[in-house]
Structure 1
Amino acid sequence: MHLFLALFILAVNHSICKGKDEKKCDVVPKNNYIEVGSDINITCLTCGHGKIYWTLDTSRLNSSHTVLSLRNFTHQSATVQCHSTDSQQVIGGTTINTYSKPCNISCILHQLNQTTEGQPVVFTCKWDHRIDPKLDVNYTVLHSSAQREICKTRETTCMVEGVIKSMLSVIIITVRAKTTNWEVDSDTREFPPAHIRKMIPPHLSVTSFADHLLVEWKRELIKQKCRCEVKYNETKLNKALKRGEHGNMTIEQVESCSHYTVSVRCALLEPAPWSDWSQEKTVLTELNKNRVRLHLWRKVAEPQKNGVRKVHAMWKEIPSTCLGTFTYTIEPTPYKESMMRGGNYTETLCGESGCDVEVNQDAHRINLNMFHNEILLVVNAVHVPAIGESLPQVTDIQTSALEGVILVTWKAPIQPVSGYMIDWTHDGNQYNWKETNYTNATLSGLLDKKPYNVTVTPLFVDKTGHGTQALQICSRVGGPGNVTIHINKTNAKNALVSWDVKSQEECSGDVVKYIIFYRKLDRLELWLNVTVIGTEQAISLEDLLPDTQYVFYVKATAATGTTKSTEMFFKTKRFGRWFITTLVVCGGVVIILVLSLGLGCAISWKKFREKPVPNPGCSSLALWPPREEGTGSIWQFNNPSESVCDRVYTEESQKTSTSPLGSGLNPNPAFYQTDEYIDPDMASAPETDPEERLKPAKMQHRSSPNDSIEPLLPENSPCSPYRSQTSAENPGKRPNKQNKHSPVKQPDRKTPVMVYVTLDMFEQNQCR
């Protein structure tokens, strides 16, 4: 019993000690809130884990001490953990959050109603505070060293009405920020009242005159010095005011018949804040007759055949805002007579900014008269040189364009000049011009990407020289025109593509090079490219894969930019030209062979079909000559005068006679008692010489006495005559000349006679 109790107490004590040890394995302090830039020490309770290391968020710190010191901590929020080096386990961790104090505090004393003068009754302060926007912060504005609360808010601005009545001395302000976890005060700021006093806007009035504007204003706090600023259009003028002084200012150099918008603001001496701008006043200036400049100029056309020239006079028109009626007249006067102040010439009524008149080849003076409400207001004149008149002109005129502006330079003539007139146009109808005393000028306000013609003319006291025109130049050169691509031809391993460039703009850059990009349709990441010079507009894409889809586009590159065409697709052929050519050639050869073979077979078949069955009616039969002793040769008979279609003689008919017939015997077949068939054609044929008819034909042929009947075919015979021989007898030698109608021996009745018979053998003209 005592032993059991002792074991129980020991186990309880061990559990208690173990629990205490687990609580000590941690990092303290927990969930800290510190001010940005301050220091903090963090302790790791290792409880026997051996060596440790620290991490800040995901970064490992270079420290193995149990106490970690973080100096000038600026993270908004970070997690610090303590790790065991041996087990790589996290022993404990904590989160450190930072906060900042309010800064950049500014305060002003002003009136709530900006139109009424009086003592300031509103005090407003603003400040900055870098915190989490989601964080709920309460702000308190404290006044003076006594920390008296004058304002509470949850915003970064605070306004107090009617609480500060006697702030004649320095105003001390502190802003306190407080949350559920922390509280911090800003640095104390001191504000002298004169430095934060904001005046109300002055009361403004503006009067317009012919050559100037008079601006006047009244301000509050006239017993104090202040500074004021007058703004008209885009110009600002400053003026300081003394004690008890209201403001006034004269604005010179104003344009005639122009609108001006004026406003003014004031402030006590710096660093006091400016008041709001006063209400704007807009006025229209009058026509300043002394400053009206029409800027008259002219452009002279090429003379006609009769020497008459058209002169286009042009001037700067009076603004349409000017009140009254304006009229213009042009009076061309010969130069010599105009110098003598004599003569009366016809005036031409013109429009508001230009007029055309005609003059002859002599020098003239173009006079422009402007009337305002029918009263002559301005007279201006310009000189027109005579044709061929020797007058100076500028040389070496150069132009260049940069960012839409044209720069013009030239060399002055040897004679002294009073100035230069530069005129420029992009279409020959609308002109711009200006005068300068220098040998260079900048032309601005140009139309974008338009070609301009620029002319420079020297000016003298009472004359003008000859104008010199520069080479046409573009205000700005754009990129290349639109690139249109074409697929001309595709093969198995190459494709011929071309392109052309068309620009809708007059000023487009010259193409320096073309880059052709292409790739397989299923390889989105791999583009191949080929570069050609700007003068080429076609290329053959080589080393392509057969039966494959490709995509390509062309990029044109100029000095002023690049232009890219749209993408186009094409597919290579399955087989190349060599394969198709070989296939066509081989197919042609095969077709020719097949046709030749078919034609030969057709001819052979036709011959076979047309070849008749041997017709005894077309045969001549004769006995083989007796074979000489010791030889195997047989006599061959040939009768040149004999037709290959002579009558047929059977073997028995030749056996009826053993001696040749006389030449005078009648070879009538009826004389012989034979079973021979007599051809009707042969029977009706005239008698021929028996010797000629029985001439043997020479033929080499081996035969035995037992040979059967074989045909003997003469050469060059259209028919097939046959001569039949028998082995039944062995006749003696025949004479060289043998009558064809020799009597033959009657055949034995027991021996059948063999005769070839066909169904058509009795037809007429069968053997022709």
Structure 2
Amino acid sequence: MSHQGLHENTCNVVLKDQYIEWGSDLDVVYPSSCVPRKIFWTLNNRRVGESQSRSVNSTHAVLSLRNFTHQSAILEWHSADTLQVLGGTTITAYSKPGKISCILYRKNQSDELSANLFNCSWEDPIKPSAQIHYSVLIATSSNPSPSEVCESKSKYCIWTISNGMSLLDSVTVTVRAKAAAWEACSDPRAFFPDHIRKMIRPKLTVTPFPDHVLVEWLRASFSKECRCEVSYGKADGGRLTELRPNTTPERSHGKMQIEKWDSCSNYTFSVRCALHEAPWSDWSDKKTVLTKLKKRDVKPLLWRKLSEPNEDGVRKVRAMWTEIASTCPDTFTSIKAAPIQERAVGADRKEASCGSSTCDVYVNQDAHRIILAVLRDETLLVEDSVYVPAIGESLPRVTNIQAATLGGVILVSWNAPIEPVAAYMVDWTHGGDRYYWKESRHTNTTLCDLLDKQPYNITVTPLFVDKTGHGARALQICSRAGDPGNVAIQVEAKDKSALVRWTVSSRAACSGAVVNYTVFYSTQEGPQLNITVDETEQFILLKDLHRETQYSVHVEAAALTGTTRSRETLFYTKRFDPELITVVSVSGSIALLALLLSSCIAVQWKKFKKKPVPNPALSSVVFWPAASHHEGTCPFQPFSNPSESICDAVYTSEAQSPSTSSLAARCDSNPAGDRTEEHVDPPTPTAPGDPVKSIETQHPSPREDSTGPLLPENSPYRRQTPVESSAPRSSKQCKRVSVKETRKIAPVTVYVTLDMFEQGQDC
């Protein structure tokens, strides 16, 4: 760029190099005679300090830039008065290759002969802005003049070593980078062949033993010492955990004993080697082996659970121990139940082969010791035993055992017995099918890895030097409380209210205790309303509802551990109150029944008022005709009212002969029915015809009421004279007399007192 002043001279900015090396210093020369007295510089629009500019002579000045680290930058100068750009230039940086590294190696990894490949790589401080071509120059002690051996457009280069190249002494390597506008060479770097020689990968052999794993490797004959390292770890789904212990220098072969490993596990091993200060060889082929069972890893932690004795005093003892991995080859476990007394005198013990971690042994009421033996290749690895007390044996136990749940784990604590305790065995189970146990030296422990929301039974047993105490069980406790149980609701809707009832059924043994219930209800248009009650309530009455409206309702049961929601239920409110309809219906029914009853009573009363009753004052005593005279016929005239029963009328009875059985059968449909007798004292005889003193007369009473007129004056009853009865007579109702009894009863006279009715009064 240029600036035109008063004179026709061109004012140019002069750079020593328009392309400069990245990180180097830069001087910008410009003419000071053709520019205003006050100017300033900017680099990529950032102002440069005035101290970096100085005058060279009366016509020129210099701007110095130190440690230029811009890949590309625009440098401009401005008038301080008008801020006008007076001139400038563009500066581009380049970098020379650096951090050169080289390796000598052999392409064929099966033999360790002289290396035949040379591989060098390098780095650039900045990303090139243009296409760059690289060349590798080699100089040796025998040929000190650098010669180009490789060209590349990338930052590495591989070439084959010629037979004439001597690699016994040092090799100097230079990398040259060349672009269209610039060229740069790296600093020369010297390498000793043994420092850059990469060995071929070794051959590996791995042998497992009971107490260690032997790793051996072999490499081709090489006169110089090398260093090696082994990588090993558990093979878990193809993943390899690498552990690299230090090794000692070896020449042609090496070996190492690995003692840190887990029993009966698959381990993968690999090894690599290198000359001193040289790069590592490639890793050898991986070898995977199954380790042996180590004696120090066998910790059976034997324990037992006792069942109640049967009628014969035999108890089942479930022996339990830490399971030995099924991958352990040639491993055998056995259980021996030895009575304490017999064991003391060396008696034979009963042996039983069991499963991998449990075994059931039956013992009597005496004290026993359960012995576990673990063998490998018929050689005893470890032996453990546990004491089984005799029935009724007095042994200490822990007290005040308590359990609490916190964050999915169970905290257990207890009080120690008075006797000194070696340790405590804590066992726990869910459901009783599978037990877990652990030993503790303290009076508290934490149970982890529990099933979620499940109840557990926990037992703590003190362990002594040679015996085992009695176990104490804590109250059943859940690993974690869950949500409340299922909520089922019922709705009884009315016109302006609805009764909502609910029940909670537990889904699991560890459902959380309900703290409160919340009832949510709303119409289709909303909004949703809610009412909360405490855990003691099981129903609620929703008030102020709209008539003939659909509502949705559900109930949420809330516990400290979560909530459970019932299904949503729809209901419709009524048009009228169902209770009002019921009251009206019942009241109407009662009124109708009362009306019908009143009508019935009125009709019956009317009939009763119209019913004719004979006037006893107009009758006289008369004897009943002979039995033969009335045989087969009723001795009186029936009433004209056919609706009345023939047995409803009051009649007098005379002595009845066996011929009256037909009459009795006619008057009583139940011949075996009960009979009722009334006994009346006989009257005092009076003069015939005296109406005042003859107050008791005898007359027959008809079997049916008569609606005809009273007897006429010429009635035979009026012509009879009073006859004194020689014996008391009894009056009977016809419907109470059976046929068989009537034949056996003596003649009876019925007396009617005339003053029972007033003469001339209607009945």
Q: TM-score range by the shorter chain?
A: 0.5 to 0.7
Match of 2:194 in 1: 194
Match of 1:736 in 2: none
Match of 2:266 in 1: 259
- How far apart are 1:23 and its partner, in Å? 8.2
Task: Write the distance in 2 (CA, Å) between the matches of 1:255 and 1:45.
Answer: 82
Q: Which of 297, 302, 321 does residue 303 from structure 2 map onto?
A: 297
Match of 1:124 in 2: 119
Match of 2:39 in 1: 52
Return 5+ residue gaps in structure 2 as ranges.
Answer: 54-60, 235-241, 488-504, 516-531, 536-557, 566-763
Amino acid at match of 1:54: W
Question: Compared with structure 1, are the counterparts of its residues 341 and 137 closer, same or farther at alpha carbon in structure 2 (3 Å cutoff)?
Answer: same
Task: Write the distance in 2 (CA, Å) between the matches of 1:350 and 1:444.
Answer: 28
Aligned to 2:231, what secondary structure does the other structure show?
strand
- How far apart are 1:401 and its partner, in Å? 7.1
- How far apart are 1:138 and its partner, in Å? 1.8
Aligned pairs for 1:607-646 within 5 A: none
**Deviations 1:100-139 (Å, cap 9, x if unpaired)?**
3333322222222222111222222222223336642222
Match of 1:702 in 2: none
Question: Compared with structure 1, are the counterparts of its residues 140 and 347 closer, same or farther at alpha carbon in structure 2 (3 Å cutoff)?
Answer: same
Does the CA contact (< 8 Å) of 1:231 and 1:264 recur in 2? yes
Does the CA contact (< 8 Å) of 2:20 and 2:92 recur in 1? yes
Task: Write the distance in 1 (CA, Å) between the matches of 2:508 and 2:28.
Answer: 73
- How far apart are 1:265 and its partner, in Å? 1.7
Aligned pairs for 1:354-433 within 5 A: 354-357=358-361, 363-368=367-372, 380-385=384-389, 389-391=394-396, 393=398, 418-423=422-427, 428-433=432-437
Question: Compared with structure 1, are the counterparts of its residues 465 and 111 closer, same or farther at alpha carbon in structure 2 (3 Å cutoff)?
Answer: farther
- How far apart are 1:180 and its partner, in Å? 1.9
- My pick for the range that moved more, 443-452 or 236-245, is 443-452
Match of 2:91 in 1: 96
Aligned pairs for 1:190-589 within 5 A: 190-220=190-220, 222-233=222-233, 236=243, 238=245, 240-241=247-248, 244=251, 246-252=253-259, 257-269=264-276, 271-286=277-292, 293-300=299-306, 311-323=317-329, 328=334, 331=337, 334-342=339-347, 350-357=354-361, 363-368=367-372, 380-385=384-389, 389-391=394-396, 393=398, 418-423=422-427, 428-435=432-439, 457-466=461-470
Aligned pairs for 1:20-169 within 5 A: 24=10, 27-29=13-15, 32-42=18-28, 47-48=34-35, 51-57=38-44, 59-61=45-47, 63=49, 67-132=62-127, 135-144=130-139, 146-163=145-162, 165-169=165-169
Aligned to 1:217, what secondary structure does the other structure show?
strand
Aligned pairs for 1:7-18 within 5 A: none
**Deviations 1:637-695 (Å, cap 9, x if unpaired)?**
xxxxxxxxxxxxxxxxxxxxxxxxxxxxxxxxxxxxxxxxxxxxxxxxxxxxxxxxxxx
Does the CA contact (< 8 Å) of 1:223 and 1:244 recur in 2? yes
Match of 1:617 in 2: none
Aligned to 2:99, what secondary structure does the other structure show?
strand
Question: Compared with structure 1, are the counterparts of its residues 119 and 349 closer, same or farther at alpha carbon in structure 2 (3 Å cutoff)?
Answer: closer
Amino acid at match of 1:116: D
Does the CA contact (< 8 Å) of 2:111 and 2:220 recur in 1? no
Does the CA contact (< 8 Å) of 1:256 and 1:285 recur in 2? yes
Does the CA contact (< 8 Å) of 2:404 and 2:411 recur in 1? yes
Aligned to 2:322, what secondary structure does the other structure show?
coil
Task: Write the distance in 2 (CA, Å) between the matches of 1:373 and 1:471.
Answer: 45
Question: Compared with structure 1, are the counterparts of its residues 106 and 442 closer, same or farther at alpha carbon in structure 2 (3 Å cutoff)?
Answer: farther
Aligned to 2:190, what secondary structure does the other structure show?
strand
- How far apart are 1:177 and its partner, in Å? 2.3
Does the CA contact (< 8 Å) of 2:226 and 2:251 recur in 1? no
Match of 1:612 in 2: none
RMSD over aligned Cα, in angstroms? 6.9
Task: Write the distance in 2 (CA, Å) between the matches of 1:201 and 1:265.
Answer: 6
Task: Write the distance in 2 (CA, Å) between the matches of 1:69 and 1:473.
Answer: 83
Amino acid at match of 1:84: S
Task: Write the distance in 2 (CA, Å) between the matches of 1:318 and 1:189.
Answer: 60
Amino acid at match of 2:302: L
Does the CA contact (< 8 Å) of 2:19 and 2:94 recur in 1? yes
Task: Write the distance in 1 (CA, Å) between the matches of 2:95 and 2:474.
Answer: 68
Match of 2:645 in 1: none
**Deviations 1:365-410 (Å, cap 9, x if unpaired)?**
33446688999987643223456733365989898979x9989898
Task: Write the distance in 2 (CA, Å) between the matches of 1:98 and 1:420.
Answer: 77
Amino acid at match of 1:111: R
- My pick for the range that moved more, 392-401 or 167-176, is 392-401
Task: Write the distance in 1 (CA, Å) between the matches of 2:12 and 2:117.
Answer: 55
Match of 2:553 in 1: none
Task: Write the distance in 1 (CA, Å) between the matches of 2:96 and 2:87.
Answer: 30
Task: Write the distance in 2 (CA, Å) between the matches of 1:207 and 1:248.
Answer: 11
Amino acid at match of 1:161: T
Task: Write the distance in 2 (CA, Å) between the matches of 1:32 and 1:379.
Answer: 87
Match of 1:171 in 2: 171
- How far apart are 1:439 and its partner, in Å? 7.7
Question: Compared with structure 1, are the counterparts of its residues 61 and 373 closer, same or farther at alpha carbon in structure 2 (3 Å cutoff)?
Answer: closer
**Deviations 1:482-519 (Å, cap 9, x if unpaired)?**
9x9xxxxxxxxxxxxxxxxx99999999999xxxxxxx
Aligned to 1:233, what secondary structure does the other structure show?
strand
Does the CA contact (< 8 Å) of 1:31 and 1:97 recur in 2? no
**Deviations 1:170-190 (Å, cap 9, x if unpaired)?**
333332322223333333333
- How far apart are 1:441 and its partner, in Å? 7.2
**TM-score (norm: length of structure 1):** 0.52
Task: Write the distance in 1 (CA, Å) between the matches of 2:46 and 2:233.
Answer: 62
Question: Compared with structure 1, are the counterparts of its residues 40 and 299 closer, same or farther at alpha carbon in structure 2 (3 Å cutoff)?
Answer: farther
Return 5+ residue gaps in structure 1 as ranges.
Answer: 1-15, 485-501, 513-531, 536-556, 566-768
Question: Compared with structure 1, are the counterparts of its residues 307 and 197 closer, same or farther at alpha carbon in structure 2 (3 Å cutoff)?
Answer: same
Task: Write the distance in 1 (CA, Å) between the matches of 2:331 and 2:198.
Answer: 49
Amino acid at match of 1:98: A
Match of 2:691 in 1: none
- My pick for the range that moved more, 237-246 or 198-207, is 237-246
Aligned to 2:318, what secondary structure does the other structure show?
strand
Question: Compared with structure 1, are the counterparts of its residues 266 and 468 closer, same or farther at alpha carbon in structure 2 (3 Å cutoff)?
Answer: farther
Match of 2:554 in 1: none
Question: Compared with structure 1, are the counterparts of its residues 206 and 373 closer, same or farther at alpha carbon in structure 2 (3 Å cutoff)?
Answer: closer
Aligned to 2:271, what secondary structure does the other structure show?
strand
- How far apart are 1:210 and its partner, in Å? 4.0
**Deviations 1:417-440 (Å, cap 9, x if unpaired)?**
555545455665444445566788
Give me the identity figure in percent. 50
Amino acid at match of 1:384: V
Does the CA contact (< 8 Å) of 2:397 and 2:472 recur in 1? no
Task: Write the distance in 2 (CA, Å) between the matches of 1:37 and 1:318.
Answer: 67
Task: Write the distance in 2 (CA, Å) between the matches of 1:42 and 1:311.
Answer: 99
Number of residue pairs the alignment of both structures matches: 540
- How far apart are 1:159 and its partner, in Å? 1.9
Task: Write the distance in 2 (CA, Å) between the matches of 1:201 and 1:406.
Answer: 54
Task: Write the distance in 2 (CA, Å) between the matches of 1:310 and 1:22.
Answer: 121
